[in-house]
Chain A
């Protein structure tokens, strides 16, 4: 299955992935209109310190602790992609407690949010991958 992989060697810390992620979430046509005067809450987030930076988003684990721990069944695996059903999430944050990558965060609508590889927002390549100017985020099949 194709997953998003990051390589900190090439991450520039430009944070564009976060903006492209946030924009993809709006389903808007123009980033300038969609994100103007908005504090973004992306599903991929940059960690940075002392010149090192990298993006972190859901790894779509084979053994997803978040899905196994989800008390409502809102998190589920579909075709390898871990998705969240916002209607069923009660914001207990068990998944936030469980995720060893820190890749799940509260969303603006009360549920939690996580990277769903843009399966719900766009076709093909996730927005963060498309938006990364340096190939630090790739979408590919690995062993």
Chain B
């Protein structure tokens, strides 16, 4: 059986997310409960979580979560890390032995900061340096895979149903101000943990439900800009596109949304002149970053989360609010199970981003 990276595997999914705008940290238990409601949207072949605000004590360090196939590979990778980073802390990520999750790889966590000498000689900005290093590990050190690389956040994922993955990683023991979760329904039976979602790069994490029809157009375009699509998954390419547009090109998340889920030309024609010019520009300039086909995505980032549907809204996604907490999920039930008394609930239109930032924050 070929695994992610060797073959492209489309999949259907469930997504859920929650964010407290005040930055109040809550336990990961709620998000497990939420995603478990949508059990039938997954098929046990992948689940995972992204949690923001969970490492306040290391918030200035990149938290690298890495899967290793073997101790030998671990050693090789750690040598690489040591050559490029100052490793402040390293540890095995705590897990719970449960019968539903098997064949786990070695799962390690490193809090790092780039070696100043290396960073200076690379002539890259810090985040680009980290990105390059992550790509090198993932492409060059066979058997090792960095699946989380942001600051004060972490991705936890595995092969299994998402609720089992949550228990496996003891997610209830983490406290964060934002969680996203993913339950996967791939259309074959891969056995590789790296293929599970969320997919993350630096602080960006993406959970995604859908199968994008523009995949190869997007992949071939993004690979021109020093990204390497190793997993051949939609989520991976979406993450890279968001990273490219937001971090590298300096677009706001709203602008990112109007690139990847661009308004139709007809809609643009009817906009007010200034707005029209911007949208026209974005579509012309970033035509290769338009994402086509059905998707609903939750993008976690440094200061918040963005929810976005494809422009035809071919996937379900609802948003609920209660006080200063915002919930987003594929199904309303996944929100109601953790917050039955919502102030407000609605389904965003296709292509209409819902961006929730920490109070005082900006996308």
Complex: A in contact with B (CB within 8 Å) = no
